[in-house]
Amino acid sequence: MSSTANTRVVTGLTALGAVLTALVAIIPFGMRDVLTDHIRHGYPDFTPDEIDTAATAYLGVLGIMGAVGVVAWLTSAWLIRRGTRHARTIVSTIFAAAVAVTATLVFIEDTSGEVGLAPAVGWMQLVPCVVGVIVVAFLWRGGSRPGTDRRIGAPRSDTVHI
């Protein structure tokens, strides 16, 4: 596959990642009952208003994370299409940060001893990370013959570096 075709595939994958990130940020708003049930189970002494406030806070955090995630995907696509020198490193760093934040959401326990985020909502957040693994794998694939680096994210040959 040519370098241009690889770039198109990977930028298509970043678009898919952005769409999935937006979806996993929006879907929990329709699953508010799952969040409130999880909070009620962990904090049986909470009043309905406290449960509602906690659910709203979770939804706010997920919405903000989703927006940041979409921006990260779009930034990654832009870096890859430009063929900037550090695209692989920057995109890989963004991916590592996303996985760390998502793992925190899925596994961290709150003061009740339960995981903070309802498991159905937390595990859903990992879906865009699967696409991220594929993108990073494409970016770090080996180049071709010496002197012609066909890896995605490598500096373009028509770019002058001073």
Instruction: Report the interhelical angle of 127-139 vs 48-82 (nearest 10°).
Output: 20
- Report the pLDDT value the prediction gives residue 116, as an integer from 0 to 100: 84
Question: Domain for residue 127, yes or no?
Answer: yes
Span 55-71, average pLDDT: 96
| pLDDT higher than threshold 80 for residue 9 | yes
The verdict on pTM exceeding 0.85 is: no
Question: Domain for residue 24, yes or no?
Answer: yes
- Report the pLDDT value the prediction gives residue 106, as an integer from 0 to 100: 87
Structural domain count of the chain: 1
Question: Domain for residue 15, yes or no?
Answer: yes
Q: Report the percentage of the chain scoring pLDDT > 90.
A: 69
Question: Domain for residue 161, yes or no?
Answer: no
| pLDDT higher than threshold 80 for residue 139 | yes
